[in-house]
Amino acid sequence: MFMVSINQDKCVGCGSCVDACPAKILGMEGDKAEVTGDAADCMGCETCVEICPSEAFTVMEL
């Protein structure tokens, strides 16, 4: 399984990751992105890593 984490200090709130995530587990909490869905559904596709303009994502395989 995969674990996604978001560096809140780096997130600039653009929202791009929310629509891009095929697992639909990302959402906005105020002006920051959060894992709002079931983190266990992360597929490890790294679409979020690629689309984020501020390199806020880390995806690790557990």
Tell the smallest beta-carbon distance from residue 32 to ligand SF4 (Å). 7
Say which amino acid occupies 52: C
Residues in the site for ligand SF4, rule: CB under 6 A? 4, 6, 11-17, 21-23, 25-26, 33, 42-48, 51-54, 56, 59
Give the list of residues 6+ apart from residue 24 with CB closer than 8 angstroms, or none: 37
Instruction: State in angstroms the smallest separation of the CB of 40 from ligand SF4.
Output: 10
Q: Which two tokens stand for residue 22?
A: 């095929």
| Shortest reach from residue 36's CB to ligand SF4, in Å | 11
Tokens of 46: 């790294």
